[in-house]
Amino acid sequence: MAVDIATTARALWRKTDGLNKYQDAVHLASAARWDIGIVHTYDRDDLLHLSERVRSLNGNLIKIHYPDNTTDGELFEYAKQQVK
């Protein structure tokens, strides 16, 4: 892992209420570093409530969504069925 992403992840993990897993902080820090506007997650309880609360390095808010058929097609259909 790149040092800048690890440093950003640690800062996010410490200052963001509701960000309980360091691994999730790493994902958000990576999205922030590479200016990824939308992050998809199947982990509804851990990340979805943080949508538009974290900014990328250029200042844009990162949206966090639960994927649908337009983003993942049939690849994760089984995972979605297990969540319902």
**Is the confidence at residue 8, as pLDDT, over 90?**
yes
Largest CA distance in the chain: 38
**DSSP string computed for the chain:** --HHHHHHHHHHHHH-TT---HHHHHHHHHHHHTT-SEEE-S-HHHHGGGTTSSB-TTSPBPEEE---HHHHTTTTHHHHHHH-
The structural domain count of the chain equals 1
- Given pLDDT bands bounded at 50, 70 and 90, which one contains residue 15? very high
Backbone φ, ψ for residue 65 (5° rounding): -125, 155
- Domain residues for the domain of 48 are 3-83
Q: Which residue has the higher pLDDT, 8 or 71?
A: 8
**Is the confidence at residue 12, as pLDDT, over 80?**
yes
Structure tokens at 16: 């963001």
Task: Quote the pTM value.
Answer: 0.79
